[in-house]
Amino acid sequence: MKPFSALTGANRSQARNAALLNLFATPGLGSLLARQWIAGAGQLTLALAGFAYVVAWFLQRMHQLYAQLDGGGAVAPNDKYFLYGSVLFGAGWCWSLLTSLDLLRQAGPAARAAAVGSAQPLAPAAIFSALATVPQWTRREAVITRTFQFADFPAAMKFVHAVAELAEAAQHHPDVDIRWNRVTLALTTHDAGGLTERDFALARACDALA
């Protein structure tokens, strides 16, 4: 199960902005703005805890320097605070990096789905060739279907939500059947009266999500 959902092609800029915030401002902030609540909260918590440790170490260090200037006894700062802070902040940053890369990756298929080709019915030979690009899909007359299986119902629903965003970006909508952790998608181009490149483009994008 993925800890974050896909962004649509229209939100490619949102994914990029989330990555910039995560990597160059505050780890987790970009994830939260991209609605990745669990991942973002975890990343932000790690980053803030690490920052707090580093600040505590810095204050101790400054206190030591001022004490030395005044000629008094100086207590050495606890260097473990700096180590703990660096590790926690680094963990939050690395986690936010993984989230950022996944957001950018998931935005890609949606952009491709939104730019699908012709909606003209495919010839039998073209359908045969297109089926080779989606080997896990099954053709039933003028429809292609695939059943996706996930760990649990929430994971299945996250996938359905991501597919809905893909379909909306492409303006091409599959039939969806949900059975707890199993999601079956069926694709055909009703206006064309059969299978078109739009169906296979969206199928490939859904495969990329899964």
Q: Looking at the structure, do residues 164 and 136 belong to the same domain, yes or no?
A: yes
Domain termination residue (choose one: 68, 88, 113): 113
List the CATH number of the domain containing 133: 3.30.1360.20
Q: Looking at the structure, do residues 23 and 44 belong to the same domain, yes or no?
A: yes
3 within a domain of the structure (yes/no): no
Q: Looking at the structure, do residues 75 and 19 belong to the same domain, yes or no?
A: yes
1 within a domain of the structure (yes/no): no
pLDDT value of residue 29: 93
Q: Looking at the structure, do residues 44 and 22 belong to the same domain, yes or no?
A: yes
pLDDT value of residue 3: 40
Q: Looking at the structure, do residues 129 and 176 belong to the same domain, yes or no?
A: yes
Q: Looking at the structure, do residues 105 and 124 belong to the same domain, yes or no?
A: no
Contact assessment for residue 6 and residue 162, using Cβ atoms and an 8 Å cutoff: yes
C-alpha 168/C-alpha 103 separation (Å) is: 18
Domain count, the chain: 2
Q: Looking at the structure, do residues 87 and 158 belong to the same domain, yes or no?
A: no
Contact assessment for residue 185 and residue 175, using Cβ atoms and an 8 Å cutoff: yes
176 within a domain of the structure (yes/no): yes
Q: Looking at the structure, do residues 135 and 81 belong to the same domain, yes or no?
A: no
4 within a domain of the structure (yes/no): no
Q: Looking at the structure, do residues 107 and 162 belong to the same domain, yes or no?
A: no
pLDDT value of residue 118: 58
C-alpha 140/C-alpha 132 separation (Å) is: 15
Q: Looking at the structure, do residues 86 and 142 belong to the same domain, yes or no?
A: no
pLDDT value of residue 9: 44
pLDDT value of residue 94: 96
Q: Looking at the structure, do residues 23 and 93 belong to the same domain, yes or no?
A: yes
pLDDT value of residue 5: 43
Q: Looking at the structure, do residues 187 and 127 belong to the same domain, yes or no?
A: yes
Q: Which of 162, 173, 152 is nearest to 206 (CA)?
A: 162
C-alpha 51/C-alpha 84 separation (Å) is: 10
Q: What is the pLDDT along the chain (210 residues), one digit of tens a residue?
A: 344 444 444 467 778 889 999 999 999 999 998 888 999 999 999 999 999 999 999 999 888 888 877 776 667 778 899 999 999 999 999 999 999 998 887 766 555 554 455 578 889 999 999 999 999 999 998 999 999 999 999 999 999 999 998 888 888 889 999 999 999 999 999 888 889 999 999 999 899 887
144 within a domain of the structure (yes/no): yes
- The strands making up 182-187's β-sheet, listed across from edge to edge, are 138-140, 143-149, 182-187, 175-179
2 within a domain of the structure (yes/no): no
DSSP state of 107: H
Residue 178, domain extent: 120-209
- SS3 assignment, position 165: helix
For helices 12-24 and 79-114, angle between their N-to-C axes, nearest 10 degrees = 170
